[in-house]
Structure 1
Amino acid sequence: MNLTLVPVGNSIGVILPREVLERLRVEQGGHLYLVETPRGIELTPFDPDFAEQMDAAERMMREDRDVLSKLAK
């Protein structure tokens, strides 16, 4: 897919086709994140830092299930 770069003030913007926006489930004014991977740059609507924090929280909850259960009482 060929994307067009356009000037936006002192920056450069990228025109994303409607089909790409629909697949990413974002609209005008939404947020996207650029993530550097071994395969190159990925564009995602998901905050990778938040995803890492949630993974860490889920691991902790699994490991300390008994303690959390007792605290909940």
Structure 2
Amino acid sequence: MEAAVNDQPRRGDTEGFVLQVRKIGNSVGLILPKELVARANLREGDRLHVAELADGSLQLSARDPHFAKGMESAGKAIRRYRNALAELAK
């Protein structure tokens, strides 16, 4: 089903936007409204990470959850070995 040219993402009844999946070349995609892109501090070429939640909904995030988990592990190691790292830094 092809959308009319004037179909714009619109504000939903609850917080958020209602977006339509559109054909883009041989793929499908979502076009994000300028206001949402600005609020999320996104630029062309940025990556969004998609997580499927237990209730079947999707969560988009500009932050890589694997990176955050790795940084948390690094922080624990730094705190644990703080004295040894300080000696090595001399």
TM over 0.5: same fold? yes
Structure 1: which 4+ aligned runs deviate by more than 6 Å? none
Whether the 8 Å contact between 1:24 and 1:44 is mirrored in structure 2 is no
Q: Give the secondary-structure state (helix, strand or coil) at the position aligned to 1:15.
A: coil
Deviating more after overlay: 29-38 vs 49-58: 29-38
Higher strand share: 1
- After superposition, the C-alpha distances for 1:36-65 in whole angstroms (9 at most, x for unaligned) are 344632111111111111111011001110
CA displacement at 1:10 relative to structure 2? 2.8
Instruction: Kindly indicate whether structure 1 or structure 2 has the higher relative contact order, using CA contacts under 8 Å at least 6 residues apart.
Output: 1
CA RMSD of aligned residues (A): 1.5
- The percent identity for this pair of structures is 36
Larger Rg: 2
Q: How many residues align?
A: 73
Higher helix share: 1
Alignment match, 2:6: none
Q: Which one-letter code corresponds to 2:79 in the other structure?
A: R
Unaligned runs of 5+ in 2: 1-16
Unaligned runs of 5+ in 1: none
Provide the rounded CA distance (Å) in 2 between the counterparts of 1:30 and 1:71.
37
